[in-house]
Amino acid sequence: MSMSKTTNTYNRQNWEDAEFPILCQTCLGDNPYVRMIKERFGKECKICTRPFTIFRWCPGARMRFKKTEICQTCARLKNVCQTCLLDLEYGLPIQVRDAALKVADNMPQSDVNKEYYIQNIDAQLQDGDGTEAAGAVGRSLAANEMLSKLARTAPYYKRNRPHICSFWVKGECKRGEECPYRHDKPNEPDDPLCEQNIKDRYYGRNDPVAEKIMKRAASLPTLEPPEDRNITTLYVGNLPEEITEPELRDQFYQFGEIRSIALVPRQQCAFVQYTKRNAAELAAERTFNKLVIQGRKVSIKWAHSQAKQGTAAKTDRRFDLAGIPPPSAKPNDYFNLRQEQINVMPAGMKLHQLPSNLVPASAYQMYGQPTYAAPYSNVSSTATSTSGVSLDSISIPPPPGQVPYPSQDASRMGAAKK
């Protein structure tokens, strides 16, 4: 059914005439003195096929001219821009917004049903001021956490750049810097972003941009609570320097009763401890990547248990002071040897054949000090350790720093007494 101005004047009383378009900040551009060309009933809407007033303008220097693509009724029905068809509040595709808000707007697809549906929407919007959204989207617009994370905080003017010059791609462009098109490498033909359709974007189906954003939303970082249920303390970082404890308490008291707040102004952080674990989990969920205090985005993390950290630190320090390596976690690694050292040891090698720096002091404490028959003898020791283990099989060398002398030989001292 054709309803263009040149072929038919069917239902002309419902053609749309407007004084100013519905645009987002990105499409409008950064120029406050933008000039627009207005043409009444200059084109058919790409959704409802009704003629409407189109606007054409240049958003800024070195940018391409843009124009409205859909009528204002269709734009208000989805609360989108007439040019880019992105949501006016969040700047996201319709598919992403409807998935987050759980909106199911089953707009008719056939020409007759669509025309009847649009006329009813026009009748509903005549009583308003022209700024509110219509349909199921207008009834469901509310603050959403996921949309707030994905939304752009500033206009994305890079989207207004000129199209790529096809002559430059073929190496035949002779305009140089005067060319109004962009001299840049085009995207790959297999790139799904090259296959965008205006109707798919409007109806929220098979939109490659929306699928890319939804994949990014699935990989957003989350704050997992610790397994220890006794931990009820949150670490609050990146705080303003002039913040006070009452101001911090006002931000976190709404989630539950607070036991204590430890403010560290020098480190610009604080520790908020709750009386119950449920209150701490609720505060972490509501404030993670969302809380802003005095214009600064605060970082929220779970605090670690100080008791476990102190026990581990004391254990490591005790072994460091004694010169003993920490106990090995492997049950068969009696001498705390590194795995790479054991792998390179030939079969049948004993401890006395290892370099002295690879034999820890714990070996001497476990098997006792060996006795030697001579200071420079290669004969293995026949002493017996305090634990009752024969040293014939281990042949431990003397600890570093101790040199045996003949006068200290027990066998010679006994012979001299006789």
Q: Residue 115 in contact with residue 7, Cβ under 8 Å?
A: no
Q: How confident is the model at residue 213, as a pLDDT?
A: 86
Q: How confident is the model at residue 373, as a pLDDT?
A: 42
Q: Domain coordinates of the chain in residue numbers?
A: 10-220, 233-302
Q: How confident is the model at residue 85, as a pLDDT?
A: 92
End-to-end CA gap in the chain: 130
Convert the pLDDT of each residue in 302-356 to its tens digit. Answer: 987 665 555 555 555 554 544 455 554 454 554 555 554 445 455 555 555 555 5
Q: Residue 87 in contact with residue 93, Cβ under 8 Å?
A: yes
Q: Is the pTM of this model over 0.85?
A: no
Q: Which residues contact 260 (CB under 8 A, 6 or more apart)?
A: 273
Taking the C-alpha atoms of residue 363 and residue 344, their distance in angstroms, rounded to an integer, is 20
For residues 110-140, one letter each, b for 16 or more C-beta atoms within 10 angstroms of the residue's C-beta and e for the rest, the string is eeeebbebbeebbeebeeeeeeebbbbbbeb
Kindly state the tokens that stand for 266: 């020098």
User: 3-class secondary structure for the chain?
Assistant: CCCCCCCCCCCHHHCECCCCCCCCHHHHCCCCCCCEEEEEEEEECCCCCCEEEEEEECCCCCCCCEECCCCHHHHHHHCECCCCCCECCCCCCHHHHHHHHCCCCCCCCCHHHHHHHHHHHHHHHCCCCCCCCCHHHHHHCCCCHHHHHHCCCCCCHHHHCCCECHHHHCCCCCCHHHCCCECCCCCCCCCHHHCCCHHHHHHCCCCHHHHHHHHHHHCCCCCCCCCCCCCCEEEEECCCCCCCHHHHHHHHHHHCCEEEEEEECCCCEEEEEECCHHHHHHHHHHHCCCCEECCEECEEEECCCHHHHHHHHHHHHHHHHHCCCCCCCCCCCCCCCCHHHHHHCCCCCCHHHCCHHHCCCHHHHHHCCCCCCCCCCCCCCCCECCCCCEHHHCCCCCCCCCCCCHHHCHHHHHHHHC
Kindly state the tokens that stand for 331: 């049950």
Taking the C-alpha atoms of residue 323 and residue 320, their distance in angstroms, rounded to an integer, is 5
Kindly state the tokens that stand for 184: 């840049």
Taking the C-alpha atoms of residue 298 and residue 293, their distance in angstroms, rounded to an integer, is 7
Q: How confident is the model at residue 394, as a pLDDT?
A: 47
Q: How confident is the model at residue 391, as a pLDDT?
A: 44
List, for the chain, all residue ranges whose pLDDT scores fall below the cut of 70.
1-11, 13, 105, 127-143, 305-418
Kindly state the tokens that stand for 58: 């240049």
Kindly state the tokens that stand for 142: 């509310």
In this structure, the number of other CB atoms found within 10 A of the CB of residue 294 comes to 11
Taking the C-alpha atoms of residue 357 and residue 355, their distance in angstroms, rounded to an integer, is 6
User: Which architecture does CATH list for 233-302?
Assistant: 2-Layer Sandwich (3.30)
Q: How confident is the model at residue 62, as a pLDDT?
A: 87
